[in-house]
Copies of this chain bind each other. A is one copy, B any other.
Amino acid sequence: MVEIFVKYLTDRASFTDADLAKIDAVTVTKQLKRRQYLLHEGQICQYNAFVTSGLLRLYRVGTDATEHILRFAAENWWLSDHESFQSGLPAKGAIDALEDSQLLLWSKENWEMLRREIPAFDALQTRLTSRALDAQANRLHVAISYSAEEKYHAFLRSFPDFHNRVPLHMVASYLGLSRETLSRIRKHDVLH
């Protein structure tokens, strides 16, 4: 199994060699070139993904016909259209690669088998879902209460290495700001 993922798992919980072998047996590796899609809007999200290298985004097209980025995912992050993966309904979001990326994938059937048969894996996923809920609540608080300046500065603090990897218009899209507003903030930062 890919070393970074074994380290990720064993850093967070105790897995026996038999557990790891069982996970390995149903893990599929996938390479994506920059701009290639893992999921298109309206498809059913068949896989849960773990990023071992590269950078991806999950976005939705809004009623204004522009792309709004809900999440980025770099090394050691999980990514799926969670609602579609869980429900089997068409995805509201799309997932594509912003850099050449390598992923590990699990089908829903194998995913549920792992959760059912490996208690440590199930407990880890329950914990991650609980944390994801907290992260979303914090992000929502930022979205409805921070000024544009505060949003951008919070982004830089949360993702110190991202602003070199993500084009500016995508940072604006993630923050719910116009490109013009974000450019103005950055210019102001440089001058002060």
Contacts and interface: CB of A to CB of B under 8 A. Distances in A.
Interface residues of A, number: 32
Contact of A140 (B64, B82, B139, B150): B139
Given A70-B140, A130-B86, A140-B136, A63 B146 contact: yes
B134 A82 contact: yes
A175 interface: yes
24 contacts: A60-B145, A62-B141, A62-B145, A63-B145, A63-B146, A63-B150, A64-B145, A64-B147, A66-B145, A70-B137, A70-B140, A70-B141, A83-B134, A86-B130, A92-B141, A129-B129, A129-B133, A133-B136, A136-B136, A136-B137, A139-B140, A140-B143, A144-B174, A144-B175
Interface of A: 60, 62-64, 66, 68, 70, 82-83, 86, 92, 126, 129-130, 132-134, 136-141, 143-147, 150, 174-176
Contacts of A126: 126, 129
A145 B82 contact: no
A134 B175 contact: no
Nearest to A129: B129
A138 B126 CA distance: 20
Contacts of A137: 70, 82-83, 136
Contact of A60 (B86, B133, B141): B141
B86 A134 contact: yes
A86 B62 CA distance: 33
Q: List the 4 closest A-B pairs by CB distance, nearest first.
A: A144-B176, A62-B145, A136-B136, A68-B145
A140 B143 CA distance: 8
A116 to B, nearest CB: 11
A147 B192 CA distance: 32
A27 B82 CA distance: 32
